[in-house]
Structure 1
């Protein structure tokens, strides 16, 4: 009897969440912010792609000139270029053999852009959703929502709307990058384009959801959206600093444990072809996302709206 009594409440909560998610997503898509965010993300990605492509082209040109001066033939030039590519790929994958084999067909420009944009993606997430809760709590319009729906439903609905919008924007940018890579690299076949597009997008999904949760937590802590944004950037800096100090401490340093407390530490295996390594990173990000959402719910539940 108790389970049957609770089940309708669960369905009601799910319906409330879906209604809020749908309404918030429509509002976000119609607003000018979605267009601005898409333009900002696309311009940044395009700039990184052009700079990386230009540097790679300059390096190849310089190497080819040196080989021509030394009298090397075309085969030798191709061999040197391949060795350089393997060296760069090994650097980006921490010399993981399985990852190097899995990413062998991906142009280095794509992998470099992915790594760089992944570093700045948390800041982009903060700009996108810093006012998702505080924007309602500050003017006290949140009370009208919580009269009609549970606070947990409001929280999850807003979180899911921000996550859905972000994943759509990331997919658009990733698709554009891979189309460019396909045009610039004829050897990058269609099958590899589709497979790696899905792989890179899935990695971005797993990575970004924990930071969307962090933004939800920061937004729920304060009534002022501006304060929420500043605190969010401080939290991102602290996490980055913890990872940096932990990495610098090595495997035996006293502060090495700090890196395990930072979400960014687990990004290295998001493109790993082995399910165990990818699953471990995914589980870590799921844990961070759950922790941040529970914290946001605790704050929202205790807050006087």
Structure 2
């Protein structure tokens, strides 16, 4: 009887060790190591690529090595992971590191308000362990991003929006930025206006930040509508172009079911390059 108990216990131990050897994911610890804190940030350069930064501050007296990183948030369909997989980051004692993550698709069944947590894989000589902590969002970008992208999903049921062309102009004259609205024939919507950016303004008779569009899409409509938006540089200091991050991302005002809203629309990398070149030439500092 005693022998059988010893053998049974040994088998349980072997099975447990085998499970560890098979690479079962570690259970996240409730907190990060003492002195280590995290928060979420989104830089201007992260917006168009839908990325964010996990800002890790190491307030301990020993270096911290971080492997896998993921952000878990009910407002997204799955965890958001490192942009560059398998990278390892070392955070020196008293230092800080920003680790870029690719945001997952939003889950529009979830409310805009929610709590995010960060899970870090901490690499040690004896192996790795996962530690988790609630991640503050001091700038407050997550809730607006969720609301905006869910609004974009609703708009997509009615129409697709895209910048589809750009015609440069001589200095002093407005260029033309082409916006195409493509109805789906399934729902109604209204595209009411587009706001200037920190780099581009509108060549309009009135001094207004909003250029009216007034494009109404009927539920049974499928014919594309093309709008030529006259633009001029909002500013002509060279560093505005050289350091541009959001100058070609426009806020577009829409209305769905009578409710106003706002989405962001990027011109795309190809048009962005052409527009920045034109701004430099229009302002007299381009090649």
Structure showing the higher strand proportion among its residues = 2
TM-score bracket, shorter-length normalisation = under 0.3
> TM-score if structure 2 supplies the norm length?
0.23
Larger radius of gyration: 2
> TM-score if structure 1 supplies the norm length?
0.22
Instruction: Pick 1 or 2: higher relative contact order, CA cutoff 8 A, min separation 6.
Output: 1
Structure showing the higher helix proportion among its residues = 1
